[in-house]
Every structure is written in C-alpha cells, then in structure tokens.
Amino acid sequence: METTLRGVGVSHGVAIGEVRHMGTAVLEPPAKQIPAEEAEREQGRARQAVEAVAADLIARGNLAGGEAQHVLEAQAMMAQDPELIADVERRIAVGSTAERGVYDAFAAYRALLANAGEYLAGRVADLDDVRNRIVARLLGVPMPGVPDSDQPYVLIARDLAPADTALLDPTLVLGFVTEEGGPTSHSAILARALGVPAVVALPGAGEIAEGTVVAVDGSTGEIFVEPSQEKRAQMESASAARKAALTAVTGPGATSDGHKVPLLANVGGPGDVPAAVEAGAEGVGLFRTEFLFLDDSKQAPSEEKQIAAYRAVLEAFPEGRVVVRVLDAGADKPLDFLTPADEPNPALGVRGLRSLLDHPDVLRTQLTALARAAEGLPVYLEVMAPMVADRADAKAFADACREAGLQAKFGAMVEIPSAALRARSILQEVEFLSLGTNDLAQYTFAADRQVGAVSRLQDPWQPALLDLVALSADAARAEGKSCGVCGEAASDPLLACVLTGLGVTSLSMGAASIPYVRATLAKHTLAQCERAASAARAADSAEEARLAAQAVLSGE
C-alpha cells in the first residue's frame, strides 16, 4: 500500500527504484588488555591504518575532483591529526589494542566538540566516518560505504559522509535518502554538484525494508513507499517535462518579460569550473577560497600558489563577473595558524573577517594575490568579506582592499542579522551585498546548519529569513547598488523567483541547479515574482510560504 513520507528535498530530480541500505563498519571494538611487549607492534598497526585511510581519502578526492576533493582532503588531514595520533599511541602504551585505542581517542575528541555546543556537528559526522574507516581496516571488516549492486537503486543511510557521497555512481545510485543532515550539510551540497536527487532529515528512513520500491522527489522532499503505477507514471511524466523544459531554455537568466537576473556559480576552486561553464553560468557568484587554505591547516599558502588558483578561475570567465570571498576560517573550518583553539562557541567567535583583521598579513597576502591574478584579464573581479557585522567591519575590509592596490569592487556578505538590519549603513563603505542564506538562517533562528533535528529552522522559506532578504535588497536599491544571493536558497527554482521578486539582483548556486532556475524564471514575469514574494512573506511558516508562492506562480 502506498504511503507518503516527507523530509527535506536538497537536490532536484526524481528517482524510482529499490532500496539498498548503506553498509556500516563494526563501530565499537572489544576492550581487551595487551601485554606491554605488544604495544610497539600495535602502535605500528595503528599508524599504518591511519596512513592507509588518509591515502584512500585523498585518492577518492582525486577521482571526484572539484569541491568534493577539498572536502575529502580535509578529512584526510583529520585522520592524520598529530594530537589524535599521539592520544591513540598513549592509550596503546597503557594496554589498549590498536583498534580500541583509535576508538577511544576519537570518542574523546568527539566529546570535546559536543561540549562546544555541537557547532562543529558537520565535522563530528566526518570524524565518525574517519574513525569507522580506521577501525574497520584494523579489524579486517568491510569499510563503510555504498552497497555492491549491479542494478540501479535508491540508497538509504543514517547520514552520508563526504567520502561516500563524492564517489556515488549516478548510473547506479538513482537517488539517496538520509535520516539526518540538513539542506546545507556537506552531503546536500555534494549531491547537488553530482545532480543526484536527494532527500535528507527524514526520521525513520532506515526502517524502510531492503528491496522496497520507493519514489523520491528531490525537489519537494516527498518519499512515496510502494508507489502505485499511477503515481510512478505521474512522477516520471513530471520529470520528463522538467528535463524538456531545461533544454528548451538557454542563455542568460531572465524573467519571461525580460528582467535580467544573472545566474552565477558557486565554486571551490579550478576543479569546479568546467561544470559551471557547461551549465551556462554567467560568472562566479561565490568563489570559496578557504579550500585552498585547508590543504595545509598549519600555514597559509604562498602568494604564488594563491595567484595560480585564482587566475585559473578568472581566466574561465572572460568578460564575466567573478565574486571572490576572502578566507572564511573558523567554526567548522578551523585553521591552526589562524583560529583560536579554545573557543567555547566557535560559530559565535573569531571567524571570517574577524580572524583576518586579527591577522592582517594573511588578508594582505590574499588581496595582493587576487590583484596580481587579475592583471591583464578582461574579467569583472569583485571581492567580498564574510561575517560582516556592521559598518566598522565593512570599512576595515574596504580599507585593506585599497591598501593592497586591488582594482575591484569591494563587497560585504550578509550572514548576520545585524548586517541585514543595517544594510544601508554598510553600503556606505562597500559597493555590493551578497546574502549567505545558509549562515543567515543559522544565526537568525539559533539553529546549527549541520544539525538535522533543527532542519525546520534552516529552511530558507522561513518568512523571517525572507524579511531579512527584503531589507537587504531594499537597502541596495536605495543606494543604487547590487544585492545577490549566494547561499543554497538560490538553488531552489521556486524560491529563486521569490528572491527575484524581493529585489535580489543576481543568484549564485551549484552548477547543477542553474538549468532548473533558468527554466523556471523564464516562465514567469517580474510582476508575478513580486506577487509571489509578497505572498510568501505574509505567511507564518516555511511550508505556508512555499505553498503561497506556488499558488501565485501557478496562477491559482
């Protein structure tokens, strides 16, 4: 009998197939004491397992490329953390086996993160995955990962680690569903990059029996268990129509009455550029430069290394717009040379621009590298600061840009409610705003963006969040300046229309979402988008806002 479940849709498309569950490693090895003379051998086993897992993660990253590569390389660094390895060896020296020493050392580190308020929940999930891989290798059991199957299937898991998501084969994995995670988790972002339909934050998904046929709608978040033939035909027809619409609309982003809305790509480095170009991106709306810095958390990359990476992206968009976010370190992206190690609540501490202003040499080197990378190129370079709280922050960043001789527009990200509330003041110092809706939702609702339990509050359709977007767009319009969105909200085609109606002047997203947004915008006039935006803001919940906007845009 057909039943319907609802999670959070995070990657467009429809998948219909049999369920396969994610394999897991034995999580807790037996606790037994070893003789002192075996300690050195066990320590060697632990080191070998750590290095093997790190090498495997790096190899997976090389195969995956793009943003996934940076995420997996960061995981490999986590596996090789000197303090963790030292703790493992200390535990072995007092009688633990290699696998038990690894398990207990990782558990202790995990507890430290949890006591920090779980603001590093995304890193906790990655930490668990690294631990499971090392323990599995030591125990000689299968690694956690996607199941072996010759036939296409829908994957169900408690959560998906980046190492699993990055190498999903779209020809076999039709789509995936997770019990945990949120719309801005690593898995969600990578799913969009792969173009695999995905639904997250669906409690009880693990109880769906192996082999059960399900239909997954990655746009609405709906899961139909044992769908009827009628439902299957309906979803397949809608999916085919959607794909046809994607190929029918080409060129720059615009509403049906010609209002231009540039569609830009979010990239993590040169590896993400080919997909953005293929999708028809009109430029880059968010170049996340922190991945370059995460290659080595002990020191900043040299100016020459930075120039090479920046120039590779800038060269791909001649006459296009490339918006670079300077280093956004802290919270779930700590860097040993930059961020404090003992903050009780890192997401509310010294992160983003605050870290850079405390380390002006790091900021100066990055800005100088950007200036040199853009020399002689016909590109419209714009540089923005993350975590701007007020006009003083904006002025400090603009002054640093000018001192570095940067010939570019300077902008501020709106990720903190205070920046939205005082946007007009901030625009006295900078030339554009860019809304990071992921963090803006996190700080508006006190809801960690990596914690599935509060995913309701991370929903970018929340009317309070739309109010803050409107405030920012209105301020930019009043000052004659631009206000884009580079958060994951821009990847939702229906919400993209609402954002356009709120006065947002450009939309930036993962490359796979650009065709969906382009096709949806092309079906509606600017006036329709404005009416949909008003209807959404008048609602009292995210779901009501979505339905109200949908009713307006469908002509109901």
Q: Among residues of the chain, what percentage have pLDDT more than 90? A: 57
480-492 pLDDT tens trace: 999 999 987 998 8
- The model carries a pTM of 0.72
What are the counts of helices (DSSP H) followed by strands (DSSP E) for the chain? 23, 16
Higher pLDDT, 74 or 14: 14
Question: Is pLDDT above 60 for 26?
Answer: no
In angstroms, the CA 158 to CA 177 distance is 8
**Position 526 confidence tier, pLDDT thresholds 50, 70, 90:** very high
Over residues 108-116, mean pLDDT: 67
CA–CA gap between residue 479 and residue 467 (Å, rounded)? 19
Least confident of 54-63, 215-224, 541-550: 54-63
Q: Who wins on pLDDT, 73 or 92? A: 92
Angle at 96 between CA 29 and CA 116, to 5 degrees: 75
For position 403, what pLDDT does the model report?
Answer: 95
Answer whether residue 117 shows pLDDT above 50: no
pLDDT of residue 294: 72
What's at 312, amino acid-wise? A
Q: Rounded distance, CA 270 to CA 316, Å?
A: 9
Window from 236-250, 381-395, 542-556 with minimum mean pLDDT: 236-250
pLDDT of residue 60: 78
Tens digit of each residue's pLDDT (9 = 90 or more) over 50-64: 999 998 888 877 777
Structure tokens at 85: 């390895």
- Predicted confidence at residue 66, as pLDDT, reads 67
Give the DSSP H or E segment for 119. none
Residue carrying the six token digits 């690694």: 143
* pLDDT computed for residue 110 by the predictor: 77
The count of other CB atoms within 10 Å of the CB of residue 108 is 12
The mean pLDDT of 382-394, rounded to a whole number, is: 98
Phi then psi for 310, rounded to 5 degrees? Answer: -65, -45
What is the model's pLDDT at position 122? Answer: 52
pLDDT digits (tens, 9 = 90+) for 163-197: 777 667 878 899 989 988 777 666 777 777 777 89
In the prediction, which pLDDT does 113 show? 59
State yes or no: pLDDT of 118 exceeds 50: no
- pLDDT higher for 204 or 465? 465
With a cut of 70, say whether residue 467 has pLDDT above it.
Answer: yes
pLDDT per residue over 232-274, tens digit each?
A: 999 988 888 877 877 888 899 999 999 999 999 999 888 889 9
* Residue 532 structure tokens: 């949909």
At 289 the pLDDT is 92
Active site residues: 186, 486
Please give the Cα distance from 480 to 478 (Å, whole number): 6
Q: Integer distance in angstroms from the first to the last C-alpha of the chain?
A: 31
Q: How much is the average pLDDT of 343-364?
A: 90
Structure tokens at 342: 């003992």
391 φ/ψ sector (left φ>0, alpha ψ -120 to 50, else beta): alpha
Whether the pLDDT of residue 30 is over 90: the answer is: no
Asked whether residue 510 carries a pLDDT value surpassing 60, the answer given is: yes
pLDDT at residue 123 greater than cutoff 70: no
pLDDT at residue 188, as a whole number: 76
Q: How many Å apart are CA 452 and CA 182, to the nearest integer?
A: 5
| Cβ pair 159, 181 in contact under 8 A | yes
* Bigger pLDDT: 218 vs 140: 218
| Out of 115-119, 185-189, 222-226, least confident range | 115-119
Instruction: Tell me the C-alpha distance between 295 and 275, whole Å.
Output: 22
Whether the pLDDT of residue 308 is over 50: the answer is yes
Compute the mean pLDDT over every residue in the chain, rounded to the nearest whole number: 88
The alpha carbon of residue 276 and the mean position of all alpha carbons in its chain are separated, in whole angstroms, by 16
- Within 10 angstroms of residue 268's Cβ, the number of other Cβ atoms is 23
Is the per-residue pLDDT at 525 higher than 90? Answer: yes
Sheet holding 3-6, edge to edge: 3-6, 222-225, 213-217, 14-21, 153-157, 173-178, 198-200, 8-11
Mean pLDDT, residues 430-447: 94
Average pLDDT over residues 197-217: 91
**Cβ neighbours of residue 490 under 8 Å, at least 6 residues apart?**
285, 437, 496, 499, 507, 508, 509, 513, 517
* pLDDT of amino acid 119: 40
In tens, the pLDDT along 272-301 reads 899 899 999 999 999 999 888 876 657 889
Residue 266 near residue 517 (C-beta atoms within 8 A)? no
